[in-house]
């Protein structure tokens, strides 16, 4: 446990490193070393909130997305700044890296999704279609398509080769806050500000289950903000400050 001087908006623990990165509202990224049990010098560049942090194992790099519209890239061995990308004139809310680590998608508050090549961080595409801020992006396990969720309550499926829209799903009543693919089964889950979690087929994009109070589940009574699959179970958390573990039967 360690004190922070500002709200924490993002946490990431990269595979193979005994480190935890915490993105703060003031733009700083704190670095905690689990082995030494102490804070290392933080990553200081952004002056506006950090909303997402992801790592690229093959390049040993850390990506940090900020409200200032940029994504900073850091070497995970030296914790030194490598590069900065100006992705948007508005906030970059979310980062998703393709399974083969050849593409990265940035969801932005200006309603667009920007696609970059991971080799040299060259811009290779813009996905337009959402009418409000994009809150969540997630590549399919095989990398053939990208799922995006927005404040407009829509879920969109995009081809990652042609960048064409494959399907639009009017998924929820309010914002889609998070998307998570099941690690083994052909399903993905969406979490929403409408207090529900929905399970969709990742091969046919059909709705298979709704977890909500209206359906008789003792679930969240405020916005569901994050979801995670772990050992076949689904964890969810939200504005009601609860964490719920679900046994999901398919």
Domains and CATH numbers, the chain: 177-250 (2.40.10)
- How far is 68 from 90, CA to CA, in rounded Å? 7
Mean of all residue pLDDT scores within the chain: 96
Mean pLDDT, rounded, for 77-99? 97
Check residue 1 and give its pLDDT. 72
Distance of CA 40 to the CA centre of its chain: 25
The three-class DSSP label of residue 213 is: helix
How far lies 169's CA from each of 98, 140, 173, 232, in Å?
22, 16, 12, 25
Phi, psi of 214 (to 5 degrees): -65, -25
* Sequence-distant (≥ 6) Cβ neighbours of residue 129 within 8 angstroms: 156, 165, 168
Q: What is the tens place of the pLDDT at every residue in 154-188?
A: 999 999 999 999 999 999 999 999 999 999 999 99
For the segment 99-135, what is each residue's pLDDT rounded down to a tens digit? 999 999 999 999 999 999 999 999 999 999 999 999 9
Q: What percent of the chain has pLDDT over 90?
A: 96
Give me 186's structure tokens.
């052909």
pLDDT, position 139: 98
**pLDDT band at 5, cuts 50/70/90?**
confident
**CA angle 133–70–94, rounded 5-degree value:** 40
What's the mean pLDDT in 50-56?
Answer: 98
Q: How far is CA 236 from CA 29, 163, 231, 233, in A?
A: 24, 30, 14, 10
Residue 249 scores a pLDDT above 90? no
- Given a cut of 90, whether residue 19 has pLDDT beyond it is yes
């Amino acid at each position: 446990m360690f004190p922070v001087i500002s709200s924490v908006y993002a946490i990431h623990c990269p595979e193979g490193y005994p480190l935890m990165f915490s993105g703060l509202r003031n733009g700083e990224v704190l670095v905690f070393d689990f082995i030494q049990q102490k804070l290392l010098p933080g990553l200081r560049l952004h002056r506006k909130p950090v909303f997402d942090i992801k790592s690229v194992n093959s390049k040993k790099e850390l990506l940090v997305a900020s409200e200032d519209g940029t994504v900073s890239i850091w070497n995970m061995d030296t914790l030194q700044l490598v590069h900065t990308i100006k992705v948007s004139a508005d906030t970059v809310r979310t980062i998703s890296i393709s399974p083969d680590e050849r593409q990265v998608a940035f969801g932005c508050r200006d309603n667009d999704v920007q696609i970059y090549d991971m080799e040299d961080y060259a811009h290779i595409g813009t996905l337009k279609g959402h009418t409000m801020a994009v809150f969540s992006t997630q590549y399919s396990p095989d990398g053939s398509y990208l799922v995006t969720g927005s404040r407009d309550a829509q879920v969109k499926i995009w081809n990652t080769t042609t960048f064409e829209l494959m399907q639009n799903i009017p998924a929820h009543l309010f914002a889609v806050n998070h998307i998570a693919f099941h690690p083994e089964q052909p399903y993905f889950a969406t979490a929403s500000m409408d207090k529900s979690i929905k399970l969709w087929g990742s091969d046919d994009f059909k709705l298979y289950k709704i977890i909500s109070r209206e359906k008789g589940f003792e679930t969240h009574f405020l916005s569901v903000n994050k979801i995670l699959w772990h050992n076949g179970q689904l964890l969810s958390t939200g504005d009601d400050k609860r964490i719920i573990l679900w046994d999901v039967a398919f």
